[in-house]
């Protein structure tokens, strides 16, 4: 039992958990996960996250517009909703850029415009940004730096260390999922990233240790152990660092 480990990025509002959400939360707590940051991809997710957080005190709601759904009208609606309920949200996310989905420059520009809006909102409300940057690591980091973002979590970063370095220097954090055990890219990245910028996440129900298997928050301990192995340090040292890093970004959850 390692208390106070926090899953900093999970989709517990996902219908994949509708049949056994309480059991999933119980297993997480038994594994030492004391809090779970629930990110959202849509307005519906934002509402659902608030509802679930009301039922389960260990769930910490966030709200954002996933890059695939980037739309200025929808972004403004969600921003209004977040402002109305700002005291209840712990982060803005999942927001960012996805150039794997958006191949055309016009689509990418909409993603950038929407992302800028959420960066501004996070600064206004002094909330952490929980950032998606698939196939757009350098571009997302550049935009965050350009906008003066301060409290930033790069979730499941898929870029090279050279793309991550400006973010490390700016004090951003990088959250690592259990899929670390099967991803050469993530293993290389974690080996080079300093321990002081690492967090753990599950990204449940995806990015688990096994392809095609539903992931859940209890598995963040797998990420902790993998980080320790890759860096050649004790598991307890990783746990202590990850806890402190999470506190530095999120405060006491």
pTM over 0.85: yes
228's tokens: 């320790």
Beta bridge partners of 37: 60
CATH code of the domain covering residue 42: 3.20.20.140
199's tokens: 């967090």
Cβ-Cβ contacts under 8 Å for 162 (sequence gap 6 or more):
none
d(Cα 126, Cα 43) in Å, to the nearest integer? 20
The reported pLDDT for the residue numbered 86 is: 98
Element (H, E) at 5: strand 5-10
Burial letters 173-189, b for 16+ CB under 10 A, else e: bbbbbbbbbebeebbeb
The total of structural domains in the chain comes to 1
The reported pLDDT for the residue numbered 3 is: 56
Opening angle at CA 247, ends 53 and 42, nearest 5: 40
* pLDDT tens, residue by residue, 5-63: 999 999 999 999 999 999 999 999 999 999 999 999 999 999 999 999 999 999 999 99
The reported pLDDT for the residue numbered 1 is: 46
Beta bridge partners of 10: 38
Opening angle at CA 82, ends 205 and 110, nearest 5: 75
* pLDDT tens, residue by residue, 56-79: 999 999 999 999 999 999 999 999
The reported pLDDT for the residue numbered 211 is: 87
Domain housing 28: 5-250
Candidates 125, 136, 119, 31; CA nearest to 87 is 125
d(Cα 153, Cα 173) in Å, to the nearest integer? 5
Q: Report residues of the chain scoring pLDDT below 70.
A: 1-3
């Amino acid at each position: 039992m390692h208390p106070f480990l926090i899953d900093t990025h999970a989709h517990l509002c996902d219908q994949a958990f509708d049949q056994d959400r309480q059991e999933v939360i119980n297993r997480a707590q038994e594994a030492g996960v004391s809090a779970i940051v629930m990110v959202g991809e849509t307005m519906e997710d934002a509402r659902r996250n608030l509802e679930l957080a009301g039922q389960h005190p260990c769930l910490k709601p966030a709200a954002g517009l996933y890059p695939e759904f980037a739309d200025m009208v929808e972004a403004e609606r969600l921003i209004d909703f977040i402002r109305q309920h700002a005291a209840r949200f712990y982060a803005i996310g999942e927001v960012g850029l996805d150039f794997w989905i958006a191949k055309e420059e016009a689509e990418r520009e909409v993603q950038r415009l929407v992302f800028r809006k959420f960066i501004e909102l996070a600064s206004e409300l002094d909330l952490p940004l929980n950032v998606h940057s698939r196939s757009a690591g350098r571009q997302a980091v550049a935009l965050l730096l350009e906008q003066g973002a301060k409290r930033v979590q790069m979730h499941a970063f898929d870029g090279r260390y050279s793309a991550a370095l400006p973010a490390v220097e700016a004090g951003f954090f990088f959250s690592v999922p259990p899929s670390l055990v099967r991803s050469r890219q993530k293993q290389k990245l974690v080996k080079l990233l300093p321990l002081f910028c690492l967090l753990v996440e599950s990204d449940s129900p995806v990015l688990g240790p096994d392809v095609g298997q539903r992931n859940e928050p209890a598995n963040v301990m797998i990420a902790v152990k993998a980080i320790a192995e890759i860096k050649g340090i004790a598991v307890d040292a990783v746990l202590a660092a990850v806890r402190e890093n999470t506190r530095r970004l999120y405060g006491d959850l």
